[in-house]
Amino acid sequence: KAGVTQTPRYLIKTRGQQVTLSCSPISGHRSVSWYQQTPGQGLQFLFEYFSETQRNKGNFPGRFSGRQFSNSRSEMNVSTLELGDSALYLCASSLSGAMAFFGQGTRLTVV
């Protein structure tokens, strides 16, 4: 079956703009989590959605938001982009509590 799909793969934005990233989970997976990875840091948890509800949220400012649709696809939005938001953004889907399956990520560069 198809894996986790993230679009776009690469993105360049300027400071102050906003961006929306998309994640399509594995069919049947209702939990979708988002992570940020910056150089020298581990995967930092952003938020987790299950059945269109945000169940968990990490320690990120309110500029970072997300949502999940009825088909379990999820989007992540970052408003008023800052240079420090340049990172690899990964999403992962899972059956609740089970191992996570990751997409290939979106590489965001803010200039």
Choosing from 12, 15, 52, 55, the residue that interacts with other proteins (CB under 8 A) is 55
- Nearest CA among 54, 34, 55 for reference residue 102: 34
Distances (CA, A) of 15 to 65, 80, 102: 17, 7, 28
Binding segment toward other proteins, per CB under 8 A, in 16-24, 36-44, 61-69, 72-80: 36-44
Which CB, 34 or 78, lies closer to other proteins?
34
DSSP state letter for 36: E
Which CB, 81 or 106, lies closer to other proteins?
106
Binding segment toward other proteins, per CB under 8 A, in 11-19, 20-28, 43-51, 67-75: 43-51
Binding segment toward other proteins, per CB under 8 A, in 20-28, 41-49, 65-73, 79-87: 41-49
* Tokens found for residue 62: 């309110």
Longest dimension (CA), the chain: 38
